[in-house]
């Protein structure tokens, strides 16, 4: 996929876990698009490009300024990649907008995920990374938690109340990943 080839160098300069994160997320996003009949021409580019901004500058996991910095940088990089690919302008604009706000949950902005099915589904998938094997290991190391502590952290995450799952498919996937963790 040309988009992934253009994005991957940014991930290679970014956080160590991000290539695994994006490759896992692409597979599950394609599955969810098929099951839920979602527009994959919006969700897949969002998945592929959402964290390219971590490839520039210094970033600290879950630090609010780092989140903002990577969203701003990521939106600019994504716009360049989408333009290079001659992506339809209306869709490119929407994807860039999504990237510029995709982690705004850290600022307490939850309504944007409930109002937009694509952004809500993306948020579900991004959150689920905590519960998939490679994501679990990476986040456990970053947060310096035991297996039990991280499982409790995931189960008690405010996302589950503040931004309930956008689709039945993402909820089922999350439940499957959580069962597998145990």
The ranges assigned to domains in the chain are: 2-181
pTM score, two decimals? 0.94
Q: Give CA–CA dist 138/7, Å, rounded.
A: 21
Count of C-beta atoms within a 10 Å radius of residue 77? 21
Return per-residue pLDDT of the chain as tens, 182 residues.
Answer: 799 999 999 999 988 889 999 999 999 999 999 999 999 999 999 999 999 998 887 665 556 677 788 899 999 999 999 999 999 999 999 999 999 999 999 999 999 999 999 999 999 999 999 999 999 999 999 899 999 999 999 999 999 999 999 999 999 999 999 999 87
Task: Determine the topology of domain 2-181 in CATH.
Answer: Hypothetical protein af1432 (1.10.3210)
Work out the number of other CB atoms within 10 angstroms of the CB of residue 181.
16
């Amino acid at each position: 996929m040309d988009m992934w080839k253009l994005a991957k160098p940014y991930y290679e300069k970014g956080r160590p876990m991000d290539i695994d994160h994006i490759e896992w997320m692409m597979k599950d996003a394609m599955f969810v698009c098929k099951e839920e009949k979602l527009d994959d021409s919006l969700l897949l580019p969002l998945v592929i490009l959402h964290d390219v901004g971590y490839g520039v500058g210094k970033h600290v996991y879950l630090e609010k300024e780092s989140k903002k910095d990577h969203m701003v940088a990521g939106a600019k990089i994504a716009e360049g990649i989408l333009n290079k690919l001659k992506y339809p302008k209306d869709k490119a604009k929407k994807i860039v907008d999504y990237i510029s706000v995709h982690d705004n949950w850290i600022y307490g902005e939850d309504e944007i995920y409930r109002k937009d099915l694509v952004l809500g589904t993306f948020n579900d998938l991004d959150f689920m990374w905590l519960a998939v094997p490679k994501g679990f290991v990476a986040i456990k190391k970053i947060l310096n938690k035991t297996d039990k502590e991280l499982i409790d952290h995931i189960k008690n995450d405010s996302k589950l109340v503040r931004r309930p799952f956008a689709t039945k498919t993402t909820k089922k996937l999350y439940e499957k990943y959580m069962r597998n963790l145990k």
